[in-house]
Amino acid sequence: MSTMTATPPIPPEGAVRVADAFDRMAEGVQTAARCDPATVRLILTAFAAGGHVLLEDLPGMGKTTLARALAAVTGGTVGRVQCTPDLLPSDITGVTIFNEGTREFDFHPGPVFANVVIVDEINRTSPKTQSALLEVMQEEQVTVDGKAHPVPRPFLVVATQNPVDLEGTFPLPEAQLDRFLMRLSLGYPGEDAEMSLLRGSSLAVPEDLVPVLDTEAMAWLGPTAENVVFADPVYEYVLRLAQRTRRHPHLRAGVSLRASIALCRAARMYALSHGRGYVTPGDVKTLVGPVWAHRLVPMSGAATAAEAAELLDGILAEVPVPAPQGNGH
């Protein structure tokens, strides 16, 4: 069994600089959206890792403001899709229109051609339109009339859905849910934050935030995180957790190989965001819920966030955590 090298591939000073950038981005976002700092850090992790986020919350929790703030602190552009039952796939991807002047067809890009795309109430549009997001979320391009059009990078889809008001909705199928790296909830603001807002304290306008990184630097983080050290005992820990979900008596289907790979990818970026060039079992435990909960298929049907969290807590309690290696990692 191999162990970690004594010197991480990413220089410590480089990891510290990345962590400082994450801290400043999170602080900027929180001046515009009063959110839990840990949740903001997870969303930034997903963005930097090239993943997408599904936010399940009641209306009025600041989901859209949060997404706009994410784009602002990374120097990116924002697109928005308001999902309704009559929304068409072309309303998302764009269309080709015949140009009378040039006698050619011109492509008119849809709202997905932005760095941060807000998809409001994704479960209120039809499955056909939901499926229009599959290609762009997986391959970062759309194909219209047989021609591929790449979207800007970095690329993040922040989709929202109301977990309570389900009348007239179209639940996301498993294949669609699997495109989201994380499912999160902003929840209610803390008591102090809510009191501050009730007293009239103003929040920063997202578009007024100063970018901490530009889009090129943000896109660079993904390949950089691939050099974060992932020791074999930690890989084996992820494997044991995945196998336990597949043998769980209350689950019809455990997590897939793609889900395990997604957890490892997120753990590398999460470690880097904290100034470390190596992944710890603690990183894995923190991310298991956000990355795996929406991918579980219980015997009784779709799992609520609370039910999935309870199942994963039990699995984490059952699977032994690997002992620290000789270098303390």
201 assigned to some structural domain = no
* Whether 8 contacts 278, CB under 8 Å: yes
User: 159 and 56 in one domain?
Assistant: yes
Last residue of a domain, one of 151, 180, 209: 180
Same domain, 168 and 248: no
The per-residue DSSP string of 162-216 comes to -SS--TT--PPPHHHHTT-SEEE---SPPHHHHHHHHTTPPPPPGGGSPPSS-HH
pLDDT class for 101, splitting at 50, 70, 90? confident
Name the percent of the chain lying above pLDDT 90.
Answer: 58
Mutual orientation of helices 37-48 and 215-225 as an angle, nearest 10°? 80
Paired strand residues for 127 = none
Quick check: 93 pLDDT over 70?
yes
Phi and psi for 241 in degrees, rounded to 5? -65, -45
Asked if the model's pLDDT at residue 299 lies above 60, the reply is yes
136 plus 256 within the same structural domain: no
pLDDT, one tens digit per residue, over 37-66 is 899 999 999 999 999 999 988 776 778 888
Q: How far is CA 158 from CA 33, 56, 95, in A?
A: 15, 11, 22
The residue range of the domain holding 80 is 52-180
Mean pLDDT on 255-280: 95
Dihedral sign, Cα of residue 164, residue 157, residue 113, residue 93: negative
pLDDT at 5 over 50: no
Domain match, 69 and 2 both: no
Asked if residue 258 has pLDDT above 80, the reply is yes
CA 92 to chain CA centroid, nearest Å: 19
- What pLDDT shows up at residue 6? 43
- CATH number, position 224: 1.10.8.80
Pick from 95-99, 174-178, 226-230: least confident: 174-178
- On whether the CB atoms of residues 73 and 29 are closer than 8 A, the answer is yes
Contact 118, 64 (CB under 8 A): yes
The CA-based angle 264-287-67, given to 5 degrees, is 105
pLDDT for 4 beyond 50: no
Beta-sheet pairing, 116-120 with 141-144: unpaired
Q: What is the pTM of this model?
A: 0.89
Higher pLDDT, 5 or 82: 82
Over range 259-282, report the average pLDDT.
96
Q: Is 105 left (phi over 0), alpha (psi -120 to 50) or beta?
A: beta
How many folded domains does the chain comprise?
A: 2
Average pLDDT over residues 281-306: 86
- Residue bearing the bigger pLDDT, 44 or 1: 44
Q: Given a cut of 80, is residue 300 above it in pLDDT?
A: no
Q: Do 302 and 229 share a structural domain?
A: yes
Q: Among 2-6, 173-177, 250-254, where is mean pLDDT lowest?
A: 2-6
How far apart (Å, rounded) are the C-alpha atoms in residues 151 and 139? 9
Q: What is the mean pLDDT of the segment spanning 141-170?
A: 87
Question: What's the mean per-residue pLDDT of the chain?
Answer: 87
